[in-house]
Amino acid sequence: MDILVQTLADGLVIGAFYSLIALGYTMVFGIIKLLNFAHGDLYMLGAFVGYTLLSLLSGSGTGAGLMGIVVVLLLTMVIVGLIGMGIERVAYRPLLLAPRLSILITALGVSLFLENGSMIAWGAQYQVYPLQLSHDGWNVLGAQITYTQMGLVLISALLMLGLHQFISRTLYGKAMRAIAHDQTACHLMGIDVHKVIGLTFFIGASLAAGAGTMAGAYYGTVNFMMGFIIGLKAFTAAVLGGIGSIPGAMLGGLLLGMMETAGTFVFGGSWKDVVAFSLLILILVLRPTGIMGEKVTERM
């Protein structure tokens, strides 16, 4: 029983990170039908920008208080969100009408660029996060659930709730949903399509960056390659939930996190990634629309 609860709790934290990244995948895919390979690297960038900001903050001798951490998190999200917008402007916008293969290869190039740019900027070795999170917590049915874990899940839930409100309540959210349906019609209706696409990239990138900063604090170390595997897994989560569907991405992330933790427990840690990728291939074969996807599989 205690193992089950522990697995659920650990999986929930990882799942929350996956959900936040999967949201960016799904939003960008929903709006311009692009698989943004570089998305995992925005998560990595978020971890590094957060690392630098926290280092600056604790370097001044005050130490990062709770308020400081929140400020760093928000600031990181804004900075990386702007970088995401910049990437869209420079690399993807000129290719929106090009063959699909071109834009996929471009995304790959952006990913290479971000990874190696970060390696040059922050070094190839693992960096230790300048933040000690408490290991205290509650004992629930024999499982140890730390306050940190609860805090991270809570922040993730707040971010997702905020996104949901934004998409369903605001005019820009409405525009996003409309563009996902029919871009040409939106253009004719006077919606500034490029502006909304840019905004989508901003939101997607900042959610991934938020996950990156939190993951950096949670695991304690960051590295320039940390975005690669997790990007793949977040994509798995997005597909699991149904790509293009926002609640699907949230659900898919949480499910994948828990399944993976369970898989690690059953098969051992070295098979963790194989579990996730096999799951991806299975979903694509058996139910390519995912749990919440409504659209039938379309061709090129």
Residue numbers at the binding site for another protein (CB under 8 A)? 33, 35, 90-91, 94-95, 98-106, 108-117, 119-120, 228-229, 232, 235-236, 239, 270-271, 273-274, 277-278, 280-281, 284-285, 288, 297-300
Least Å distance between CB 177 and another protein?
A: 21
Closer CB to another protein, residue 27 or residue 280?
280
Least Å distance between CB 144 and another protein?
A: 29
> How are beta strands 143-146 and 137-140 bridged, if at all?
antiparallel
Least Å distance between CB 74 and another protein?
A: 29
Residue 225's nearest CA partner among 105, 111, 81, 107 is 111
Closer CB to another protein, residue 67 or residue 101?
101
Provide the β-strand partners of residue 127: 222
Least Å distance between CB 10 and another protein?
A: 21
Closer CB to another protein, residue 33 or residue 177?
33
For residue 2 the two structure tokens come to 């205690």
Q: Which residue has the tokens 């929903």?
A: 30
Least Å distance between CB 2 and another protein?
A: 28
Closer CB to another protein, residue 172 or residue 228?
228
List own/partner pairs for 273-280 with CB under 8 A and 24 or more apart: 273/229, 273/233, 276/232, 276/233, 276/236, 277/232, 277/236, 279/236, 279/240, 280/232, 280/235, 280/236, 280/239, 280/240
End-to-end CA distance of the chain: 47
Least Å distance between CB 256 and another protein?
A: 13
Closer CB to another protein, residue 163 or residue 280?
280
Closer CB to another protein, residue 156 or residue 200?
200
Closer CB to another protein, residue 100 or residue 187?
100
Calculate the alpha carbon distances from 68 to 76, 102, 162, 274 in Å. Answer: 12, 42, 21, 38
Structural contact between residues 22 and 249, judged by C-beta atoms closer than 8 angstroms: yes
Provide the β-strand partners of residue 172: none
Gap between the Cα atoms of 110 and 104, Å rounded: 10
Least Å distance between CB 124 and another protein?
A: 8
